[in-house]
Structure 1
Amino acid sequence: MSRKSADITRSKTRRDPQGPNAVRVPGPGEGKRGEGGYLGYLLRQAHAAVRLTMERTLADLGVTSPQFAVLTMLNAYPGLSGADVARLTFLTPQTVGVIIRNLERDGAIVMTPHPVHGRIQQWTLTPRGATLLRACRERVIALEKRLARNLDAKGETTIRRWLAGIAADLQED
């Protein structure tokens, strides 16, 4: 898989270029970035943290988190069009087009014309794509377990319902 850079670095310390009198930016979980923050912001902050962790987790496989999302959806729903993939992965059609071309070039997916609508291209995983997805899933499952480590089964179910409910409820806006 092609990737911009497999060398993703972490910065644990924050150096204040403006000196000791500058306002300190709160870390995740602090101030408005903590329990007192807006729910929408906290969801976005959590998403950003999960995505960065996933990028680091998948980097040596040469897979980005958007590529992982595309592979996952094509595995779950073989024969999707690029437009369908874009809707399911919350990516732009242009981004999905680039991802699909790269995955096809690398032999992870294959296109077949739609049996009725010849202009619609359907995408499915190849055996190589399925193998790559399995390797990614092993790592992502470990991340999922980390996300849920402080939850019991009931708590995890409640959060899953809550998140899915937000998406369903706000979809109509």
Structure 2
Amino acid sequence: MIRPPPPGQGKRGEQGYLAYLLRQAQAATRLTMERALGKLGVTPPQFVVLTMLRAYPGLSGADLARVALLTPQTVGIIIRNLERDGAIRKTPHPVHGRVLQWTLTRRGTALLEKCRRHARAVDRQLAKGLPPKAELIVRRWLSKIATELQDS
């Protein structure tokens, strides 16, 4: 029986398509984050929602879905769970009364800080061996891909 090569070899390595290599790297990163955040009882999508609310307080559920790259249905479930756990709270939008805005609570901020310690460790692992200039190039490249392919 023929077995596929491990990550980093053949088409799963430098000979592979960029899109596949990005997907492979993302899958490995997600699994690593799931394991790290799971110790805190938090999922990567919950972490992203908490992170986006810290960066952009007052987002609506629809806006959260867009910036977190999640479906509105998934964000709805995440919001309900985070609100139930006291990590976020809602307030009506000052102009559009039917729109709810979400912000972190003190408890949510503390939870996010714990999550960030784990996420920073994963980031350090990802950047290990990259000189600062190379890391900046990778960050710019990934941002450029997201910007340009979004419009195509």
* Alignment TM-score > 0.5, same fold: yes
TM-score tier by shorter-chain length is over 0.9
* Equivalent in the alignment of 1:39: 18
3-state secondary structure, aligned to 1:61: coil
Taking the aligned partners of 1:164 and 1:55, their CA distance within structure 2 comes to: 23
| Paired position in structure 1 for 2:122 | 143
Shift of 1:167: 0.5
Q: Tell me which residue corresponds to 1:64.
A: 43
Report the TM-score when normalising by structure 2.
0.99
Aligned residue in 1 for 2:111: 132
Q: 2:27 matched to which residue of 1? A: 48
Amino acid corresponding to residue 86 of structure 1 in structure 2: A
Match of 1:12 in 2: none
Percent identity, please. 66
> CA separation in 2, counterparts of 1:96 and 1:25?
36
Structure 1 residues 1-173: aligned runs within 5 Å: 22-173=1-152
Higher radius of gyration, 1 or 2: 1
Q: Which runs of 4+ in 1 moved over 6 A?
A: none
Q: CA deviation at 1:66?
A: 0.4
Residue segments in structure 2 that go unaligned for 5+ positions in a row? none
**d(CA) in 1 for partners of 2:20, 2:98:** 41
Q: Which amino acid aligns with 1:66?
A: P
Offset of residue 147 of structure 1: 0.5
Residue-pair matches, total = 152
The one-letter amino acid paired with 1:99 is I
What amino acid maps onto 2:87 in structure 1?
A: A
Aligned equivalents of 1:27, 1:86: Cα separation in 2: 34
Offset of 1:117 from its aligned partner? Answer: 0.2
Q: CA RMSD in A?
A: 0.6
TM-score by length of 1: 0.87
Q: Distance in 2 between matches of 1:105 and 1:47?
A: 30
Matched residue SS, 2:108: helix
Classify the secondary structure of the residue corresponding to 1:136.
helix
Counterpart of 2:74, as a letter, is: T
Higher helix share: 2
Which amino acid in 1 is paired with 2:78? I
- For structure 1, list consecutive stretches of 5 or more residues without a partner in the other structure: 1-21
